[in-house]
Amino acid sequence: MGGSDVAVGSERRDSRAVGEKAGGHGTLGPFAAVTVLFFFWGFITVMNDVLIPFLKSSFELSYFQAGLVQFAFFGAFFVISLIYFAFSLSSGDPINRVGYQRTIVVALVICAAGCGLFSPAAAAGSYGFFLGALFLLATGVTLLQIAANPYAAILGKPENASSRLNLAQGLNSLGTTIAPIAGGLLLYKVFAKDGEVTLDAIQTPYLIYGGMFLALAVVMAFVHLPRIHPESSTPTENAGSALGFPQLKLGMIAIFMYVGSEVAIGSYLVSFIGDEAVMGWEEGIASLYLAFYWGGAMIGRLCGAIAMAQTSNPARKPLLMVLTAAVLLGIIYVVTALRFEDGQLQTTFLPVVELWPFTLMIALCLGTFAVARGKPAAVLAFFSGMLCLLLLLAGFSTGNVALWVALGTGLFNSIMWSNIFTLAIDDLGEHTSQGSSLLVMMIVGGALLPLLMGAIGDAFGIRLAFLTPVPCYLYIAFYGWWSHRRIAAKGVVS
């Protein structure tokens, strides 16, 4: 498509050959195009956080009913990924036959269609219609993740797979950081009529998002994306499907644990900060600090991309990581200061002195990268251990200590998806796309583990509820250690 497909014989020039072209520069343009996708699906996913209170008030819903927004969205990840896997077992992996590029274009069109349905849903005044639109939108996002995650990992030198995926996930974090601000501005300010927020206000923003997805689909249809066909697995490795590979089966559990834990922590941070034993702040103030949690993920991912990249001059890495972290911290600081009052943009900056604990957390994050020597499996194990320590401190400490160690978990959650994903699809060969669908299916953890954490919070208090993810991170630490042993056994440095 768009001149990107090459002859079947050329497909055997796999990711290693493509990455070595011009010293790896031949993949720069295609990789840049793919990373844009990560930004857009991060943006549209976090828009749900803005959408939930809007629909709750518009339809006079209970909290449980409003929660169906996330259930419909994340439920699509499970359903569509399961269908994809079942189809791949019976008829062969669809992406291997259709190609990554065509799959991405179709996924973007589906996203656009889902956004477009928000307009008739608003006109009909039907909450069920909105949930259906969200399911369709998430269907497109699911297909994007199934295709784009492994493509970003495969496109280039294998030893830099985790670095590339961390860089792409950094763009995803940028989308999640600015989406609540941009979405809130459009929904509650720009398209609100006479200061009132009605269902009509939702139509234009989502038509804009739909137009952006369509425009991106056109671009991706004509951009040059090398067609990559993964190498076939050896008979001893191939058990008939991706589930025959232990690294994938264990990785699926790790993805479930990670996504569930990250979403659960983010969901209850405002309540945690508002606890009298922590800071006792009202929601309006506590919510400002969420940017440090999600922004911390952006810092960790982009610094992780530097730390885990195989370069000819590794001595430059520490300086680049420090500069990157400093710039991103500045962006987070500015973003959290933005306010829209009386139709005007205003800024309310937090006192700079309040940032020193978070700066210390960043230094701890960068130091952990150094201890793990930038090896993906080792980084995963060390970061999981740090998360266990931070959550234990959050659960049993009070005041500023509890506040900042809880917020600091975002820094160490940062590389989880990228590293688990690349370790799980390692050596899957022709089953790579199938394995990707199974990993994306495990995103359903984001719909289930927060329920468990909430129930524990109801029974024992929100502070002790922050101990809930500790067993999850202990398992992920085990998976990092196991992966390190597996890769070392085959003579490849992890």
In the predicted structure, residue 447 carries a pLDDT above the cut 60: yes
Separation in Å, CA 377 to CA 313, 438, 491: 22, 20, 14
Question: Do residue 397 and residue 274 come from a single domain?
Answer: yes
Lowest-confidence range among 152-166, 196-210, 457-471?
A: 152-166
Burial of 373 (0-12, 13-18, 19+ CB in 10 A): middle
User: What range defines the domain where residue 200 resides?
Assistant: 1-229
Higher per-residue confidence, 477 vs 456: 477
Question: Do residue 217 and residue 87 come from a single domain?
Answer: yes
In the predicted structure, residue 14 carries a pLDDT above the cut 60: no
Say if CB 325 and CB 363 are below 8 A apart.
Answer: no
Spatial neighbors of 252 by CB under 8 A, at least 6 apart, are: 424, 438, 439, 441, 442
Domain limit, last residue, from 192, 207, 229? 229
* pLDDT of amino acid 471: 97
Question: Do residue 96 and residue 18 come from a single domain?
Answer: yes
Indicate yes or no: pTM above 0.85.
no
Question: Do residue 162 and residue 306 come from a single domain?
Answer: no
Domain limit, last residue, from 229, 257, 276? 229
First vs last C-alpha separation in the chain: 35
Spatial neighbors of 117 by CB under 8 A, at least 6 apart, are: 129, 132, 133, 136, 137
Residues 356-393: tens digit of each pLDDT: 989 999 999 999 888 888 788 999 999 999 999 999 99
Say if CB 242 and CB 162 are below 8 A apart.
Answer: no
452/441 Cα distance (integer angstroms): 19
Which amino acid does the sequence have at 238? Answer: N
In the predicted structure, residue 461 carries a pLDDT above the cut 90: no
Q: Report the pLDDT averaged over residues 240-248.
A: 84
| Radius of gyration for the alpha carbons in the chain, expressed in angstroms and rounded | 22
Residues 172-200: tens digit of each pLDDT: 877 877 776 677 667 766 776 666 667 88
Number of domains within the chain: 2
Three-state DSSP class for residue 193: strand
Question: Do residue 304 and residue 205 come from a single domain?
Answer: no
Higher per-residue confidence, 266 vs 105: 105
* pLDDT of amino acid 240: 60
Question: For the domain that residue 152 is a member of, what is the CATH number?
Answer: 1.20.1250.20
59/70 Cα distance (integer angstroms): 16
Residues 261-308: tens digit of each pLDDT: 988 887 788 788 888 899 888 765 676 677 788 888 889 988 888 887
Three-class secondary structure assignment of 315-376: HHHHHHHHHHHHHHHHHHHHHCCEEEECCEEEECCCCHHHHHHHHHHHHHHHHHHHHCCCCH
DSSP secondary structure letters along 444-486? GHHHHHHHHHHHHHHHH-HHHHTTTTHHHHHHHHHHHHHHHHH
* pLDDT of amino acid 231: 52
* pLDDT of amino acid 74: 83
Say if CB 441 and CB 425 are below 8 A apart.
Answer: no
245/254 Cα distance (integer angstroms): 15
Question: Do residue 218 and residue 242 come from a single domain?
Answer: no
Lowest-confidence range among 107-121, 156-170, 224-238, 479-493?
A: 224-238
Lowest-confidence range among 40-54, 74-88, 420-434?
A: 40-54
Higher per-residue confidence, 341 vs 469: 469
**Helix H or strand E segment including 429:** none
Question: Do residue 151 and residue 254 come from a single domain?
Answer: no
* Helix extents (H) in 92-202: 94-98, 100-116, 118-124, 127-154, 161-185
Question: Do residue 224 and residue 250 come from a single domain?
Answer: no
The dihedral sign for the CA sequence 305, 309, 313, 318: positive
Say if CB 41 and CB 141 are below 8 A apart.
Answer: yes
Q: To which residue do tokens 């719909």 refer?
A: 447
Which amino acid does the sequence have at 468? Answer: T
Most confidently predicted of 7-16, 94-103, 159-168, 306-315: 94-103
User: Which pair of tokens denotes residue 213?
Assistant: 């997805």
Q: Report the pLDDT averaged over residues 438-457.
A: 85
Q: What is the average pLDDT score of the chain? A: 82
Question: Do residue 247 and residue 200 come from a single domain?
Answer: no
In the predicted structure, residue 257 carries a pLDDT above the cut 90: yes
Question: Do residue 142 and residue 91 come from a single domain?
Answer: yes
Residues 15-25: tens digit of each pLDDT: 444 444 433 44
Question: Do residue 379 and residue 438 come from a single domain?
Answer: yes
Question: Do residue 155 and residue 220 come from a single domain?
Answer: yes
Domain limit, last residue, from 229, 249, 273? 229
Q: Report the pLDDT averaged over residues 145-159.
A: 79
In the predicted structure, residue 161 carries a pLDDT above the cut 90: no
* pLDDT of amino acid 5: 33
In the predicted structure, residue 113 carries a pLDDT above the cut 80: yes
298/328 Cα distance (integer angstroms): 8
User: Which pair of tokens denotes residue 252?
Assistant: 């699926």
Which amino acid does the sequence have at 163? Answer: S
